Amino acid sequence: MGKKRAPSVQSGSPSSISRAIRRNDGGDARATRRDTAERQRKLPLAPSTKPISNGRQHQVRGKKKGKEPEPESESEVEESEAEDEDAEEVGEEDEALEGSGSDEEELHAKDLGFTDDNQSWLKMKKGNTNGLLSSEEEVEEEEEEDEDDEEEEDGEGDEADNFMSGESEESGKEVADEEEDFEVGHEGDQDEEDEAGDEGEEEGPRPVAGLASGLKERIEEVVDILSDFRARRKAGVARAEYVRQLGRDLSEHHGYLPELTGMFLTMLGPAECVEFMAANDRPRPLVVRANTLKTRRKDLAQALVKRGVSLEPLAGGWSKVALKIIDSQVPVGATPEYLAGHYILQSASSMTPVMALAPQPHERVLDLSAAPGGKASYCAQLMKNTGLLVANDLKPERQKATIANLHRLGVRNAVVCSYDGRRLPSVMKGFDRALLDAPCSGLGIVARDQSVKVQRTLADVRKMSHLQRELLRAAVDCVDAGSKTGGVLVYSTCSVAVEENELVVDYILRARPNVRVVPTGLGDFGRPGFTRVAEHRFHPSLALTRRFYPHVHNMDGFFVCKLQKLTNALPGKNEEEEGAEAKGKKRKQMRDGGNGESRGNETRKGVQKGEKGEEEAPFRIKKKKKGSQPQGPVRETPQSTAETTVAESRVSGQATMSSGTNSERDGPLVEKKDKHTRKTESKTPKAAGEDVVKEGKKKSWQSKQERGRHEVGEGPKVSNGERQKSEQKSGRPKESQGIPVGRKGKKAKGVMSS
Ligand SMILES: C[S@@+](CC[C@H](N)C(=O)[O-])C[C@H]1O[C@@H](n2cnc3c(N)ncnc32)[C@H](O)[C@@H]1O
């Protein structure tokens, strides 16, 4: 590798981007010059239960070095004001804990001449299916009606305003009182007999009499009572009183803002909420992702074992590139292998969106919010450094870390730029795939950042939800539905809040009825998304989305949704352009047939003549309008290459100075130790929802509708291997790859130079 060195992050003029993309070198050795002294700390971790032993290598079981384990990674919570938005962003830095991989990785490795043939590592377990908290079946006719009602009334922020607030204004529907809220989604929890006793609508710390005085004991006691309320309740005490008591106690015990506890209770129910909060007080395992652009997992494992790292593959075998670090004699973020870009610290949860996206070689892939590049680099890995990866992020300063990481990992097919993601469709579109790993509240990564417990509010969650909707709209608009290989996008967050997840997806199904939810391809790994929670009733296809929880999967809380774009045109004017009247009509129309079912006989590649809606041109970059300047610095001068090199060095320098950092993260990072070795409840990913969709593309719209209905709640139908084959067969030839080209060869604005 690395006969000659090319910039791993492309920029400048489109033609130079194009040229650079075609270069074929390893060019990342310089990454090893960076990030050294900072990572001198060790990562004492819990003892291995299933260490890797590769025959010749003796596993070194880690010994505690007298230091307390640190969380694997820092969770960065950052806020940004995005020009016209008050949306507070909370950026997750998610190269940390567990890892994942995919069949794509294996295939990729083979193509590169790397194989990971230790099948015992990779054997997938058929996991039991996690129970659906809410599923298609749960959505009844009357709920559909409720949905329609909601649609009629909603504005962009209406749902948000009502959500979890206890301020539902829905008429004709029973107002969700606290008692009801806390029970939604938990089968068997809904008792009617307590209605009479529920007089406690007004808030106030009125302790339920007769309960244990100790906090912990009282929590246990109340959970126990609520688990069989009818039998265990004290006479005259309403369920709501117990729930309120529990909320207060949990908030105090775990140190959360009460409103957050209320949200979790609503979503998870009493018993599970307790587990969730307890899990948030434990660190997640440290996981690394082998960078198959440079090595194979087996070789990496051997090298790390030699250095005194105790590791093992992830439980369930769902990743072929991830290694869980059990213990280490050396700082995992500062080994020569790390510095050489042979791996990245990345949480398992963080890998799932990329697995779902399944970017293919030679495709054009967009990561709308890429910094610091954890998922983008995984995309490049799956793309085998071919095609084009546009790694965008609002914040130029965060993109320095992206550039550094992409360099270190030997990524050569990336363009790094810095636009407000919401404006990207006016800059470039026509991508085969897009990833929106959205800025979020970080309510899934509390274990990494305990400050979230008191700093995040429901108001923040609402703000994030608003920004997320706008970004998701943009993501949809950037994707080319006519892509021969893709036409898909993935939406993910590191939040467990319904408002940032299902509500956002439910919104996009209305705002962009030319998309539909498809299986993630992660099989039964993860829990299905909610289709109902509190007063909300979501489209049944939300059950195809996946949720990951710390207390269930021993992973960061994460949400993953895969969407297929069916047509480039909307069956009507863009929502933004519509008047309120038309809005309601269209929504009703869409809803009547489920997601997009009212789209008549549109074909996937376009719309029927006479139908309104903009047909998107294939990949193009529009000339930037005045006033829509990207926020990022645009280095377009001939000196830009040198500048970026310097910038990169500066980034490295910063990282180097911050001792023990995890350089996957932006800015000074704290490498955290972990002794938590609980196994994940990983399930075998065997789905290929995309295949199902692809198959659907060939058939009539009506057939698609039928199939769409059939897919909901149904397991995956096609193996990843089959998906790979089918996707690769249809892979577009290199010549036809679109390269972002500005008008008359002008450079793309916002592109960071290298
Ligand atoms: C969860 S982090 C992304 C992590 C990244 N995908 C990774 O795997 O390394 C969210 C990112 O969204 C970025 N962001 C926030 N608002 C944005 C906007 N309007 N447009 C584009 N990116 C935005 C933040 O700067 C932050 O880096």
Distance CA 427, CA 424 (A): 5
> How far is ligand 1, taken at its centre, from the CA of residue 248, in Å?
34
Q: Are 522 and 316 in contact (CB under 8 A)?
A: no
By alpha-carbon position, which residue is closest to atom 1 of ligand 1? 92
Does this complex have an ipTM over 0.85?
A: yes
Residue 550 confidence (pLDDT) above 80: yes
When pLDDT is averaged across residues 285-307 and rounded to a whole number, the result is 98
For residue 347, the SS3 value is coil
372 annotated ligand-binding residue:
yes
Which of the four pLDDT bands, split at 50, 70 and 90, describes residue 572?
A: low
- For range 73-92, the mean pLDDT: 35
pLDDT of 382 strictly over 90: yes
The ligand 1 atom nearest the CA atom of 393: 22
Annotated active-site residue 494? The verdict is yes
pLDDT for the residue 236: 86
Kindly give the distance from the C-alpha atom of residue 574 to the centroid of ligand 1, in angstroms, as a whole number.
25
Backbone angles phi, psi at 453, to 5 degrees: -55, -35
Which atom from ligand 1 is nearest to the alpha carbon of 420? 20
Predicted local confidence at residue 512, as pLDDT: 97
d(CA 697, CA 707): 11
Q: Which one has a higher pLDDT value, 588 or 57?
A: 588
Weakest mean pLDDT among 218-227, 231-240, 540-549:
231-240
Ramachandran angles phi, psi of 381, nearest 5°: -65, -45
**CA 574 to CA 152: how far, in whole Å?**
17
What is the DSSP pairing of strand 322-328 with strand 309-312?
Answer: antiparallel
What is the chain's Cα-based Rg?
Answer: 25
**Residue from 89, 287, 382, 662 to probe ligand 1 pocket by mutation (most atoms less than 8 Å from CB):** 89
Question: Residue 207's pLDDT is what?
Answer: 79
pLDDT one-digit tens code per residue, 439-459: 999 999 999 999 999 999 999
Task: Give the integer Cα–Cα distance in Å for 616 and 574.
Answer: 12
The Cα 493–Cα 87 span in angstroms is 15
Give the DSSP H or E segment for 192: none
Please tell me the predicted confidence (pLDDT) of residue 501: 98
Q: Which CATH architecture has domain 285-346?
A: 2-Layer Sandwich (3.30)
> What is the distance of C-alpha 145 from the center of its chain?
31
Protein residue with least CA distance to atom 5, ligand 1:
370
Within 342-448, residue ranges assigned H as helices are 348-357, 374-382, 396-408
Task: Tell me phi and psi for residue 367, to 5 degrees.
Answer: -110, 110
Q: Categorize the per-residue pLDDT at 579 as very low, low, confident or very high, splitting at 50, 70 and 90.
A: very low
The reply to whether 347 sits in an annotated binding site is no
738: nearest Cα among 357, 415, 384:
415
Q: Which residues line ligand 1 (CB under 6 A)?
A: 80, 82, 89, 91-92, 94, 350, 368-375, 393-395, 398, 420-422, 437, 439, 471
Distance in angstroms (rounded) separating the CA atoms of residues 144 and 233: 34
Q: Is 116 annotated as a binding residue?
A: no
Q: Which tokens is 80 given?
A: 């940004």
Average pLDDT estimate for 678-691 = 34
Q: Which CATH class is domain 348-569?
A: alpha beta
Residue range(s) occupied by CATH 3.30.70.1170 in the chain = 285-346
pLDDT above 80: residue 434: yes
93 CA → ligand 1 middle, Å: 9
Asked if residue 84 belongs to a known ligand binding site, the reply is no
Q: Which pLDDT does position 558 carry in this prediction?
A: 98
Q: What is the pLDDT of residue 234?
A: 86
Is 369 labelled as part of a ligand binding site?
Answer: yes
Q: Is residue 615 over pLDDT 70?
A: no
Out of 273, 379, 494, 561, pick the active-site residue.
494
CA of 16 to the centre of ligand 1 (A): 26
373 labelled binding-site residue: yes
Kind and range of the H or E run holding 243: helix 239-254
553 and 285 in contact (C-beta within 8 Å)?
A: no
The per-residue DSSP string of 479-525 comes to B-TT-SS--EEEEEES---GGGTHHHHHHHHHH-TTEEEE--SSTT-
Task: Look at residue 707 in the predicted model and tell me its pLDDT.
Answer: 30
Q: Which has the closest alpha carbon to 560: 534, 596, 528?
A: 528
Nearest CA residue ID for atom 6, ligand 1: 370
Query: Please, which residues have CB within 8 angstroms of residue 97's CB and are 6 or more apart in sequence?
Result: 72, 73, 283, 284, 285, 286, 287, 345, 346, 347, 348, 349, 448, 555, 556, 674
The pLDDT of residue 570 is 81
Q: Which of 2-6, 274-278, 328-332, 544-548 is predicted least confidently? A: 2-6
Measure the N-to-C terminal CA separation of the chain; round to a whole number of Å: 21
pLDDT value at 745 more than 60: no
Q: Which atom of ligand 1 is nearest to the CA of 367?
A: 6
Distance CA 205, CA 248 (A): 8
Strand-pair partners of 490: 435, 562
- CA 427 centroid distance within chain: 24
**Could you report the per-residue pLDDT of 16-67, keeping only the tens digit for each?**
333 332 333 333 333 333 333 333 333 322 223 233 333 333 332 333 333 3
Query: If pLDDT is split at 50, 70 and 90, which confidence band does 573 have?
Result: low
Kindly tell me if the per-residue pLDDT of 703 is higher than 60: no
| Widest Cα–Cα separation across the chain | 80
Q: How far is the CA of 392 from the centre of ligand 1 (A)?
A: 8
Instruction: Copy the structure tokens of residue 393.
Output: 């992020």
**What does the pLDDT average to over 597-614?**
29
| Lowest-confidence pick of 423-437, 471-485, 506-520, 651-665 | 651-665
- Give the pLDDT confidence score for residue 206 in this predicted structure: 67
SS3 for 43?
Answer: coil
DSSP character for 160? Answer: H
H or E stretch at 391: strand 388-392
Question: How long a stretch of residues is the chain?
Answer: 754
**Which pLDDT score, from 0 to 100, does residue 441 have?**
97
Average pLDDT over residues 233-247: 91
Mean pLDDT score of the chain: 64
**Which tokens belong to 216?**
């912990």
d(CA 741, CA 463) in angstroms, rounded, equals 34
Which are the contacts of 142, defined by CB distance < 8 A and separation ≥ 6?
none
Q: What's the pLDDT at 736?
A: 28
What DSSP character marks residue 431?
Answer: B
Minimum-distance ligand 1 atom for the alpha carbon of 87: 16
Please tell me the predicted confidence (pLDDT) of residue 311: 97
Q: Show Cβ contacts of residue 261 under 8 Å, excluding neighbours closer than 6 positions.
A: 247, 250, 251, 254, 273, 277
Measured in angstroms, how far is the CA atom of residue 463 from the centroid of ligand 1?
Answer: 15
Tell me how far apart the alpha carbons of residues 514 and 567 are, in angstroms, rounded to a whole number: 6
Which residue has better confidence, 281 or 713?
281
In degrees, to the nearest 5, what angle opens at C-alpha 352 toward C-alphas 351 and 356?
125
Helix, coil or strand: residue 435: strand
CA distance 78 to 76: 6
Q: Which atom, in ligand 1's list, is nearest to the CA of 402? A: 9
Confidence of residue 88 (pLDDT cuts 50, 70, 90): very low
User: Averaged over 142-155, what is the pLDDT?
Assistant: 35
| Rounded distance between C-alpha atoms, residue 481 and residue 504, angstroms | 21
Higher local confidence (pLDDT), 255 or 100: 255
More confident residue, 412 or 106: 412
C-alpha to C-alpha distance for 497 and 530, rounded to whole angstroms: 11
Q: Is the bond into 372 cis (omega within 30 degrees of 0)? A: yes
Q: Where in the chain is the domain with CATH 3.40.50.150?
A: 348-569
Task: Flag the least confident range among 56-60, 219-223, 273-277, 372-376.
Answer: 56-60
> How far apart are the C-alpha atoms of 180 and 189, rounded to whole Å?
10
Residue 204 has a pLDDT of: 55
Residue 340 pLDDT > 60? yes
